[in-house]
Structure 1
Amino acid sequence: MFEPFRYEFFVRGLLAATLVGGLCGLIGVYIVLRRMAYIGHGLSHAIFGGAVVSYVMSFNFFAGASIWGFLSAILITLTTRKRKIGADAAIGIITTASFALGIAIISRYKTFTRSFDAALFGNILGVTAGDLLAIAVVAAATGAILFLGYKQFLFATFDPEVARYYGVPTGWVETVFSLVLAATVVVSMQVLGVTMIAAAIVIPPIVARLLTDSFRVMVLLSSALGAFCGLGGIYLSYYVDVSSGATVVLFSAALFVLVLAYTSLKGRLSAAERRLSRGDALPQETSSTFE
């Protein structure tokens, strides 16, 4: 049971996955409530292009991917403000073009194709102390930003039109949120991979939403569930010998199925109890009317 903890690479990967899971769960609440689940998927694919370019230019991975991700996030935000272009169309164009650029460069320089398996699917073997520090910094910064701007983010999430009317700078709020999301995707790539990040962002808040109607509880619960899924997924990946990103997502999906089944069964039992209580009360009411 404790065998994996003897290896330093596993401990680093476990810590990284736990932090990434909690971070994705935290920011995912705002994405799910905005009904913009596709932006996590799209932005992760966009950043892949920047990661490839930074590799080819022998540039620092985090610096190159971050710059590319921030530019993509700002471009998506600006494009979605155009009434003639929907958010889904803007994300589709920008992210697909960026991902295609990365694939084109990989196919051109085939000597390093295998180096991007981790970027696509995640690999805890590649997590370094520097990666862990970057994840911790982004997680702390994200938590601080969302905490300090709690009311603004909350208002802009549920009703941006009314928020704008009351003086909330929704444009800046959306831009800052997009940058935070881009930073989250960048630091998550090594653990989850490009193809799995979107699921890690979306599943924990959806599970939390099934369990509570309170926004504050949902934020805390989603972060905790994300961290739990990251920890559990990485632990299982050691034994099943499957990529870390895929295992984390499958673990999260299994949790979603269990919670969905639990809440559905609970709802049916509650409905049955209400029907029985009404059925028991009916004869008493009927008999009293004839007395």
Structure 2
Amino acid sequence: MEPWQHAFMQRALLMCLASGVVCGIVGTHVVLRGMAFIGDAVAHAVFPGVAIAFALHLNLALGGAVAGVATAVLIAVLSQNRRLKEDAVIGVFFAAAFALGIVVLSATPGYGGSLESFLFGQILGISDQDVRTVLVAGTALLAATAFLHRRLVAVALDRETARAAGHHLFALDIALYTMVTLAIVVSLQAVGNILVLALLITPAAAARLLTDRLGLMMLLAPAIAAFSAVSGLYLSYAYNLAAGGLIVLVVTVIFLLCWVFAPKHGLVRRLAMRARHV
């Protein structure tokens, strides 16, 4: 029997496609800004929100989203002080957020199994309501990304020029951090809190190796992410292995292939060009 004939696999397929497209597009802006660290920090910031929501018997995804957005705003606010580099501020909250989650969990009995799906993903156990929520949230997030696209690109290329052109950098920073948070929350059940950074960053990094054109990169990144998610899901069903881990391994293999064989920026091409000039 084909895996896609099962209702739970159909739900998982929709989740994979939604997560891949959202992470691929939002991740492109993260890679352009050279801010892969923010994705890791926000992923860790989601963790204490999930832990607190579990302790208070609230919605775990909502708790994670609130904590992630709050941390993103704090990072944006503190990063306005130019004496502190952005990665330093992110590093502070990266450690603090995860530490808070650990403390909350240590005070909450019986937490292990209930939070396991958020740490490692539980894509085969999602409900119809989960799918609807992700599709609605993903569509809204993509609409916001499209609306802010030109301004986000302007800031990524040159902050000072963007400032001189009248763009509000603080508001755009908060917008990007919030979009990263929501993309991570959307993808939690697909690959889990621990692996979600790979789905956000790796497809965009692979696309960056394949093309110099931003428009094409914005198409390639979600395509790579969605393909990896669906392929990892199929392999998970076929070999009875962890879906989240396989999704990340597939996208990592694609990145490595791009790094070696990309037509213009791949290792083979660079070695060939070097040999010609010897």
Aligned pairs for 1:48-63 within 5 A: 48-63=47-62
Q: 1:44 — aligned with what? A: 43
Q: 2:182 — aligned with what? A: 183
Distance 1:181 1:137 in 2: 16
Residue aligned with 1:62, SS: helix
Distance 1:149 1:109 in 2: 40
Residue aligned with 1:59, SS: coil
Aligned pairs for 1:124-163 within 5 A: 124-163=123-162
- CA shift for structure 1 position 223: 1.1
8 Å contact 2:52–2:63 — kept in the other structure? yes
- CA shift for structure 1 position 267: 4.2
Q: 1:82 — aligned with what? A: 81
Q: 2:257 — aligned with what? A: 258
Q: 1:279 — aligned with what? A: none
TM-score under structure 1 normalisation?
A: 0.88
Deviations 1:152-194 (A, max 9, x none): 1110111111100110111111111111111111121111111
Q: 1:285 — aligned with what? A: none
Residue aligned with 1:84, SS: coil
Q: 1:73 — aligned with what? A: 72
Distance 1:39 1:134 in 2: 24
- CA shift for structure 1 position 275: 6.2
Distance 2:107 2:178 in 1: 30
TM-score under structure 2 normalisation?
A: 0.92
Distance 2:271 2:91 in 1: 40
Residue aligned with 1:167, SS: coil
8 Å contact 1:52–1:105 — kept in the other structure? yes
- CA shift for structure 1 position 202: 1.0
8 Å contact 2:138–2:186 — kept in the other structure? no
- CA shift for structure 1 position 27: 0.7
Distance 1:110 1:126 in 2: 24
Residue aligned with 2:246, SS: helix
Distance 2:272 2:94 in 1: 45
Pair member with larger Rg? 1
125-134 or 66-75, which moves further after superposition? 125-134
The one-letter code matched in structure 2 to 1:172 is A
Distance 2:85 2:277 in 1: 45
User: Does 1:123 pair with 2:122?
Assistant: yes
- CA shift for structure 1 position 46: 0.6
205-214 or 260-269, which moves further after superposition? 260-269
Deviations 1:70-98 (A, max 9, x none): 11110111111122322222222223222
Distance 1:101 1:126 in 2: 28
The one-letter code matched in structure 1 to 2:139 is A
- CA shift for structure 1 position 271: 5.9
Deviations 1:116-175 (A, max 9, x none): 111111111332222212221222122212222222111011111110011011111111
8 Å contact 1:25–1:205 — kept in the other structure? yes
Deviations 1:173-231 (A, max 9, x none): 11111111111111211111111111111111111111110011111111111111111
Deviations 1:18-59 (A, max 9, x none): 210111111111111111101111101111110110111111
The one-letter code matched in structure 2 to 1:19 is A
Deviations 1:243-273 (A, max 9, x none): 222111101011111222212224444666x
Q: 1:288 — aligned with what? A: none
Residue aligned with 1:236, SS: helix
CA distance 1:91–1:271, shift in 2 (3 Å): closer
Residue aligned with 1:147, SS: helix
The alignment covers a number of residue pairs equal to 274
8 Å contact 1:127–1:191 — kept in the other structure? no
Q: 2:221 — aligned with what? A: 222
The one-letter code matched in structure 1 to 2:182 is A
Residue aligned with 2:82, SS: coil
Percent identity (aligned): 31
Aligned pairs for 1:18-29 within 5 A: 18-29=17-28
Residue aligned with 1:149, SS: helix
Q: 1:235 — aligned with what? A: 234
Aligned alpha-carbon RMSD (Å) = 1.8
Distance 2:277 2:51 in 1: 60
Q: Give structure 1 stretches of 5+ with no counterpart.
A: 277-291
